[in-house]
Structure 1
Amino acid sequence: MSQSRRQVIKVHPTDNVAIVVEQGGLAEGTVLDDGLVLTGPIPQGHKVALEDIAAEEAIVRYGEVIGTATAPIARGGHVNETNVRLPQAPALRDLPLATRPAPNVEPLEGYTFEGFRNPDGSVGTKNVLGITTSVQCVAGTVDYVVRRIKQELLPRFPNVDDVVGLNHTYGCGVAINAPAAIVPIRTLKNISLNPNFGNEVMVIGLGCEKLQPSTLLEDRPVKVYENSRAADPEANVLSLQDDSFQGFGDMVDGIMAMAERHLERLNRRQRQTCPASDLVVGMQCGGSDAFSGVTANPAVGFATDLIVRAGGSVMFSEVTEVRDAIHLLTPRAVDESVGKALIEQMTWYDSYLEQGQADRSANPSPGNKRGGLSNVVEKALGSIIKSGNSPIVDVIGPGERVRKKGLTFAATPASDFICGTLQLAAGMNLQVFTTGRGTPYGLPMVPVLKVSTNSTLGVRWHDIIDLDAGRIATGDASIEEVGWELFHLILDVASGRKQAAADRLGIHNDLVLFNPAPVT
């Protein structure tokens, strides 16, 4: 990475563009160190042409072609979405598979965190009662009961961090036997298995929904709650339409009684020292800008490699922000079967978008463009840097659980909320979320650490951002320094020694299922 007085950053020696670093941008007539004169004002994060670029000539950033010029762009000119033509996506046939040898790195030993060990061997970073729902019809009731539980029961169980209703919009009026219905169904099943819920599964249903509670518990015993304080203490399913309930008050009393039994068991959990290999970290970005691939995502990638070296699990996601950089990922597959699985997920999503009469030009968002990202190719090249340099050991479909230690590609849409929901189902016990434009995104089920890509945001949103990676752009810190800082912050938050800003402020988003199946 070369820099000119930190006014601009050029990432790769072959790049013919650089991004503006300075807050407020650079004015027309600004002279850079090499004598380049800006032909017009260029906002922070936007690209300046480092040489004359002819019409149809390639525009290169990260050493990769991000598009072609729609018209001549003079040296010192502003390069943006209006004068960059989106190139074709990389063909999925004949991509190199598992051709890059794994980096020769030393194992990272001796790092631990204080987590909640579960009977199945997984480890939670929180101790939360999650109340699963089988249909959206019961969401209002569950929200009502969650408020009551927090007020009346939770103070009696100091080792339990929170009570969360896992509400969603699925369960009825859906083609539940359609092949694609497997995605939302397995997502709901696997969310209840997240390690932060301590294997305490509690399902609230209505009774007439297509997605019966027993479907969500098909691998576990179904024990139905009866309207009695002497009901089975192991009860894990309650249906509001049960004939024994006489009015809303009876339903609420039943849920409260069942929740109390689960809280009693969760309260026995104690934090204990666990190796860093028990981390399952989801990496995600949202509200991205042109700094994402220069500061925050490289630092996250460095932390990703540290976690993998420590024996932990990391997943990166967002198919539409991987698709245009897939040729850089398939060589990193640990073997050909993993490389082929990557291609299969790209192919499936290409078909999914085509069926919906959408294409990849729908990404990036207007905010991404205001932050300097011209198109999805540039965005993808910056996004995949979160994956670091480790080999990709596995690929999982939407809603599936992480199966292996190391770096996994978890296929999800790029939507922040859907991606977060699917990574939750995959089993993450902590999430790292990078942002350049800013978002108050958070999840109540797992800690979410937000990393700013630029210090303008880091300072302005000082009480929402957990770590400012913009210091890399200004030269105040290196990628390695911020990567190590993030790694230690992950261990501290996973241990409960520090609290993520979103948790401290109580900023939490709803679950959003990915449902590619028909709705009837």
Structure 2
Amino acid sequence: MQLIEHADSPRSIRLHERDNVVIVVNDQGVPAGTEFPDGLVTVEFIPQSHKVTLEDIPQGGQIIRYGQTIGYALQPIPRGSWVQEDQLRMPTAPPLDSLPLSTEVPEAQAPLEGFTFEGYRNADGTVGTRNILGITTTVQCVTGVLDHAVKRIKDELLPKYPHVDDVVALTHSYGCGVAITATDAYIPIRTVRNLARNPNLGGEALVISLGCEKLQAGQVMHDNDSSVDLSEPWLYRLQDASHGFTEMIEQIMELAETRLKKLDLRRRETVPAAQLILGMQCGGSDAFSGITANPALGYASDLLLRAGATVMFSEVTEVRDAIYLLTSRAENQEVARELVREMDWYDRYLAKGEADRSANTTPGNKKGGLSNIVEKSLGSIVKSGSSAINGVLGPGERFKGKGLIFCATPASDFVCGTLQLAAGMNLHVFTTGRGTPYGLAMAPVVKVSTRTELAQRWPDLIDIDAGRIATGRATIEELGWELFHFYLDVASGKKQTWAEQHKLHNDITLFNPAPIT
């Protein structure tokens, strides 16, 4: 990365020696006629985070960023020009039948030993970073009653159990009016089931059902499931109540208190950093995402993996155009083929809706300098660091094994977060360039800004300012280590993220590609 660091001069970043564009760093952009230290002169105003050409690009010529082609010029673009979305033809997606499979597997890096955090051990061997009572549902019909009950539990019961962090209702819109036996119905069903098994719930989740819905409680909890304690009553059906709403609330509160008593006996213990299960995600991305925040996450990911932890990255449409850079890093051909399988499934899913991966980019992404999904993907996959990819999870699956895992999810923030929780994530990190108050109730969310300007405007929402990389005040390595230590402090409960302090969280949002009846 080449960077002009002087705050009082035009500043730009070039990421790769092949790049024929640079990214403008200055907060307010640069006006026409601006001369950069290398002699480049702008021919028009260029906003912050947008691309300016380093050479004359002919019609049909390649626009190269990250050392990769992100588009072809639809018209001649003179040196010093602002490269905009409508000037580019997007490349076709890489064909899935000719990808490199496990051809450039990175060597394992030296182990990092001695790093720990304070967590809650669970009977199934997982570790929670928080001690939460989760109350899940089988159908949306019960949501109003459960919300009322949870409010009373928090007001009247939770203060009696100071070692329990929170009570969370795992409500969703699934369960009835759905094609429960359709081909892809397994995705929302296993997601609901695995959400109740998240390590931060300590194996004490309850189930509230209506009784007549299609998704029955037995599909959410199984008698032989070691990850959830079924030795105590764990299910309440509203249709069993003989004295109406009041009885429903009282009985839910009684069941909740039984579980709260058990959770309150738990204490944090020193555990190896290997017990951390980190989920990574982008939202409100901009052109700095792949320059500052995501590379820092990638460096921290490598550190966690060296310490034996599990790290998940996701968002199928945001890796699809860079998939050839991932299949080559798969630890073996089986893992590489699993990556291809998930890309193919999603290609076909989008095609059914007469859409493709280009539907991903938002107006905010484009305002932040991302011309198309190809450019966005190349910046997104940087979160995965430089380690070998060890496994692939389908949507709603629970994690297995250790290492760097691709958790196949849509790119939607809420759906991706939900599926990572179902996969077993106990800590979340979220990068943003445009800004979002995103949060999760079941796991702490570390918010990382790509730009210092955003961190300064939102000082009580952004936890880590990665924009310091773009202004030369920190290196990717320094930010990576800062994140690594911050993760362990948050996992230990020594620090709370801003989203936790404000109790900001998005709804559980299931991915249901099956028909609704």
* Alignment TM-score > 0.5, same fold: yes
In structure 1, give the amino acid aligned to 2:232: E
How far off is 1:109 after superposition?
A: 0.4
SS of aligned partner of 1:9? strand
Which one of 4, 9, 12 corresponds to residue 8 of structure 1?
A: 12
How far off is 1:220 after superposition?
A: 4.0
Aligned to 1:241: 239
Does structure 1 residue 460 correspond to structure 2 residue 460? no
Aligned to 2:162: 158
How far off is 1:221 after superposition?
A: 7.4
Does the 8 Å contact 2:342/2:408 carry over to 1? yes
How far off is 1:331 after superposition?
A: 0.6
How far off is 1:104 after superposition?
A: 4.3
SS of aligned partner of 2:406? strand
Does the 8 Å contact 1:418/1:511 carry over to 2? yes
Aligned to 1:377: 374
Which one of 416, 420, 423 corresponds to residue 417 of structure 2?
A: 420
Q: How does 1:118-517 map to 2 (within 5 A)?
A: 118-220=122-224, 234-242=232-240, 244-517=241-514
Supply the distance in 2 between the matched residues of 1:70 and 1:8 (Cα, whole angstroms): 25
* TM-score, length of structure 2 as denominator length: 0.97
SS of aligned partner of 1:262? helix
Supply the distance in 1 between the matched residues of 2:20 and 2:225 (Cα, whole angstroms): 61
How far off is 1:247 after superposition?
A: 1.2
Does structure 1 residue 23 correspond to structure 2 residue 27? yes
In structure 2, give the amino acid aligned to 1:70: L
* TM-score, length of structure 1 as denominator length: 0.97
Q: Please tell me the root mean square deviation across aligned C-alpha atoms, in Å.
A: 1.2
1:489-514 CA distance string (max 9 Å, x none): 00000000000110001111101000
Percent identity reads: 60
In structure 2, give the amino acid aligned to 1:108: L
1:86-141 CA distance string (max 9 Å, x none): 11000111211111132342100000000000011100000000000000000111
How far off is 1:233 after superposition?
A: 7.7
1:297-340 CA distance string (max 9 Å, x none): 00000000000000000000000000000010001000000000
87 and 352 in structure 1: CA distance in 2 versus 1, 3 angstrom threshold: same
Does structure 1 residue 70 correspond to structure 2 residue 77? no
371 and 189 in structure 1: CA distance in 2 versus 1, 3 angstrom threshold: same
113 and 48 in structure 1: CA distance in 2 versus 1, 3 angstrom threshold: same
Aligned to 1:226: none
In structure 2, give the amino acid aligned to 1:71: Q
1:433-475 CA distance string (max 9 Å, x none): 0000000000011000000001010111111000000000000
Does structure 1 residue 59 correspond to structure 2 residue 63? yes
Structure 1: runs of 5+ lacking an equivalent: 223-231
How far off is 1:5 after superposition?
A: 4.2
Supply the distance in 2 between the matched residues of 1:130 and 1:164 (Cα, whole angstroms): 5
1:470-492 CA distance string (max 9 Å, x none): 00000000000000000000000
Aligned to 1:229: none
Does the 8 Å contact 1:5/1:33 carry over to 2? no
Supply the distance in 2 between the matched residues of 1:308 and 1:405 (Cα, whole angstroms): 9
Deviates more, 1:210-219 or 1:295-304: 210-219
1:24-60 CA distance string (max 9 Å, x none): 1111110011211101101100000011111110100
In structure 1, give the amino acid aligned to 2:325: L
- How many residue pairs get aligned? The number is 510
How far off is 1:4 after superposition?
A: 3.2
SS of aligned partner of 1:82? helix
Supply the distance in 2 between the matched residues of 1:80 and 1:129 (Cα, whole angstroms): 49
Deviates more, 1:350-359 or 1:212-221: 212-221
Does the 8 Å contact 1:124/1:429 carry over to 2? yes
Supply the distance in 2 between the matched residues of 1:104 and 1:500 (Cα, whole angstroms): 31
Supply the distance in 2 between the matched residues of 1:104 and 1:406 (Cα, whole angstroms): 11
